[in-house]
Structure 1
Amino acid sequence: MESAPTARLHDIINSSISAAFHQKMALAFWRHPSESIIHGILGSASANETVIELETSNPGFILHPFDHIEEAGSWFIPADYHITLPLFGKIDISPGSEFYKKVNSFLDDKKRDWFISKNLPCTMSDQQGRYLELVQDGVNAINEKRFDKVICARTQHIKLKNDFSIGLFFRSLIDAYPDAFISCVSHPRFGTWIGASPEILLEIDKNNQFRTIALAGTQPVNEAKNPATAAWTQKEIQEQAMVSRFIINQFKKVRLREFVETGPQTTIAGNVMHLKTNYEVDLNEIDIEKLGTKMMRLLHPTSAVCGMPKLPAREFILREESFTRDLYSGFWGPINFHGLTSLNVNLRTMQLTKDEAIIYAGNGITHDSDPEKEWLETELKCETLLQLLS
């Protein structure tokens, strides 16, 4: 009996991305924190957004840009073709697999193609100067009582090596950040993105347990790599408290009182540490219809990626930042997939052009922010991906 063909993980990812491009389909690969398997789906690539309800959606992968709020639509990749891949060893591919049939002809093709967005941020000559100015504008607006906090973001353009492989980079992210949500998306509307998110927007597991987190504050991992010895400034503690308060205020809007709060605690995310508070709800014990969908709309964008109050902070971002965030600081993730819905904030992320990676990073700005220090913190966040590109 003839044995099944084998392939390496990165070759399957690369060939799948090429297959999606040439067949005008959308693709997502992801690895949940601490898991040793990878999921991949190919599906029809709708050009139009759609309003999604988590409780009734078919299995698939959601893409939601930063600037879409409340009941605005999302983009959805249906799980028309699905593959589960082990993290280690060569992979036996069933010739009868529908996913395999879609990508088979691209497995031996050395030329790699991927979708590139038509809406790319421009390279700026004085990136640092522009960011320092943006942060100072944010501080001035806070002092004028227009809002209490705002997230100011920037980009960094990095030339890709000639032999750059999305599949190998995806694997290197998994190795470097075992506790992050590692994901890669290629879509005709948004182009190709890859990242290692430390932050969930919300999660609903097969036991109907709902979870969200408040994440804020950033500092380098200490030499001992011991979160218990981390020291946080008053500014960072206040920033994290704002995010926690924002989440509790959203709970109040749906009259949710039965939740368990744990933290804040220091957590490690690659080369940086954050303050994190967990919020958990047993959906079996409450009588709130479609809580997952309601919270998805209320939580996005969180104060950790937008600011407080949400609307004036968002207006400042859309008006003052020199680029469109698109999927950066939006959210994405699997819905109703193997009993799990896991929506993750798209942070520690980069967008690919033909020969560049565009890395996105932002910082929470409050009344006592120092523009120079905020710039250095974005440098630290960019390093999450930069060190794997070098």
Structure 2
Amino acid sequence: MYLAVKGAEQKNPQHRESLAQAAMLTPTSGFFFTSPFRSLSTQGCFAKIAQPAVDGEDLQGQFQQTIQQAFAQARAAGIKSPILCGALPFDTRQPSALFIPEKTQWFKREAFMAGMEPDAGVLPEIVHQVELPEQQQFIQMVTEAVQATAGEQLDKVVLSRLLEIETREPIDCQALMACIIAQNPNSFHFHVPLEQGSLVGASPELLLRKSGNQFHSNPLAGSAPRENDPLRDRQASQRLLASNKDRYEHQIVTEGMHQVLAKRCSHLHIPASPELLSTTTLWHLSTPIDGEVADPAENALSLACLLHPTPALCGTPTLTARDLIKQLEPFDRGLFGGIVGWCDSEGNGEWVVTIRCGTVNANQVRLFAGAGIVKDSSPQSEWLETGTKLSTILRAFGLNQG
């Protein structure tokens, strides 16, 4: 095991029970997801769902019907409270990576984090890494995107890059998860089993959480690197908060979300100005959104599909931005830039955006990072920003990006 419980001397019986449950968790046994609200770990697979979610926001559409049929089959097979979990790709026309597990264990993240200790073992040595695209091509991509946003057809587009890594020996995914969690304690941690390998990460961004008829979202757009010196770090956060370029990028996101959510809500509150949210490496502009659905039949995934991909992951207008991404990026994003999470048969659930993440398959690792491009973007700054984001996962391998 790479996660061990400490503090056995705790006297509170409930706390000891929570720690004992945390000790039994295996983050790589199936789907694993931590949140400050509800966290879960699964075992087994009752049914896989590869149906594309292109019509996922339509409660009467093929995707939603497929999910409801799978829930009904699970209940008929004796799974009393089935859940659906996994990931959707950036392009929802592609197959989904969802499944209904045989068993689900819910736990409290604070108890899990309090009882977690990374193993002292060393992850395999990295023997080769390739940037895709390389710096000059990425800068050219951003330059073309900035030119596109100068016209009337496009307000924003999100461009990304990959880091492909080869290690000397196969990676122990559980050791990697322990490192990712330790390095990013306040993020949404996830492990998604795939046909080949796993999708792992620590996302800072909540796309959609739904409980009953209430829902919440917390889009992030506009970021700046953290500083080691407290004074310089505070100055960096205030510069971000005052940045016209970053506030414009963020406003595009919140306005886009308002446009799609308003027609499905009886109540919707989106603050007029963003606030600051920090991770271990970055400051972000953040806007907490809350609302109430007009139709009780709405579920967490129908709302998530309504929002996905947001301007924070794709751009706006969505179709124009998606077409430009396909034209400029020299790879298929797949699950990168998609969403990961869960929902139950009652419509509750939580979905986060698939960023600060990577795929792991034996000794092959692929990491992903993106940046929002608007008319005032600097190509060199966007290269540095994506490098900072990649460093979040790189540090899980004991490396810093040069």
Q: TM-score, with normalisation over the residues of structure 1?
A: 0.76
| 1:60 equivalent among 84, 90, 98 | 84
Shift of 1:310: 0.5
- In structure 2, the CA distance between the partners of 1:308 and 1:339, relative to structure 1 (3 Å rule), is closer
Counterpart of 1:31 in structure 2 is: 34
Shift of 1:200: 1.5
| Residues 1:159 and 2:166 aligned together | yes
Shift of 1:9: 5.9
* CA–CA distance in structure 1, aligned partners of residues 22 and 215 of structure 2: 35
On the 8 A contact 1:52/1:73 being kept in 2, the answer is no
| Residues 1:77 and 2:82 aligned together | no
| Residues 1:264 and 2:264 aligned together | no
1:95-244 matched pairs, under 5 angstroms:
123=130, 127-160=134-167, 162=169, 164-188=171-195, 191-205=197-211, 207-222=212-227, 223-224=229-230, 230-232=238-240, 233-244=243-254
Where does structure 1 lack aligned partners over 5 or more consecutive residues? 1-5, 17-26, 92-121
- In structure 2, the CA distance between the partners of 1:179 and 1:161, relative to structure 1 (3 Å rule), is farther
* CA–CA distance in structure 2, aligned partners of residues 138 and 356 of structure 1: 30
1:6-25 matched pairs, under 5 angstroms:
12-13=26-27, 16=29
Counterpart of 1:278 in structure 2 is: 288
- In structure 2, the CA distance between the partners of 1:310 and 1:227, relative to structure 1 (3 Å rule), is farther
Q: Deviations along 1:170-226, whole A, 9 cap, x unmatched?
A: 1222222222110011121x6411000111211112x54201122101111243265
Amino acid at match of 1:358: R
Amino acid at match of 1:179: N
Count of equivalent residues? 336
Query: SS at 2:393's partner residue?
Result: helix
* CA–CA distance in structure 1, aligned partners of residues 193 and 213 of structure 2: 30
Q: Deviations along 1:94-152, whole A, 9 cap, x unmatched?
A: xxxxxxxxxxxxxxxxxxxxxxxxxxxx9568611121111112112222433111001
Q: Deviations along 1:303-323, whole A, 9 cap, x unmatched?
A: 001001101000111222111
Shift of 1:389: 1.0
- In structure 2, the CA distance between the partners of 1:348 and 1:145, relative to structure 1 (3 Å rule), is same
- In structure 2, the CA distance between the partners of 1:124 and 1:376, relative to structure 1 (3 Å rule), is closer
Amino acid at match of 1:389: F
Q: Deviations along 1:265-321, whole A, 9 cap, x unmatched?
A: 1001221010011111134xx456426454323211000010011010001112221
Shift of 1:73: 6.4
Shift of 1:360: 0.4
Shift of 1:330: 0.5
Counterpart of 1:109 in structure 2 is: none
- In structure 2, the CA distance between the partners of 1:130 and 1:337, relative to structure 1 (3 Å rule), is farther
Query: SS at 2:169's partner residue?
Result: coil
- In structure 2, the CA distance between the partners of 1:290 and 1:38, relative to structure 1 (3 Å rule), is closer
Where does structure 2 lack aligned partners over 5 or more consecutive residues? 1-19, 53-62, 72-81, 118-128
Shift of 1:7: 11
Query: SS at 1:147's partner residue?
Result: coil
Query: SS at 1:382's partner residue?
Result: helix
1:317-332 matched pairs, under 5 angstroms:
317-332=325-340
Query: SS at 2:153's partner residue?
Result: coil
| Residues 1:336 and 2:336 aligned together | no
Amino acid at match of 1:201: L
Identity of aligned residues (%): 25
On the 8 A contact 1:9/1:87 being kept in 2, the answer is no
Query: SS at 1:369's partner residue?
Result: coil
On the 8 A contact 1:10/1:171 being kept in 2, the answer is no
Query: SS at 1:46's partner residue?
Result: strand
* CA–CA distance in structure 2, aligned partners of residues 250 and 42 of structure 1: 36
On the 8 A contact 2:131/2:164 being kept in 1, the answer is no
- In structure 2, the CA distance between the partners of 1:364 and 1:333, relative to structure 1 (3 Å rule), is same
1:295-374 matched pairs, under 5 angstroms:
295-336=303-344, 340-374=348-382
Counterpart of 2:120 in structure 1 is: none
Counterpart of 1:41 in structure 2 is: 43
* CA–CA distance in structure 1, aligned partners of residues 266 and 245 of structure 2: 28
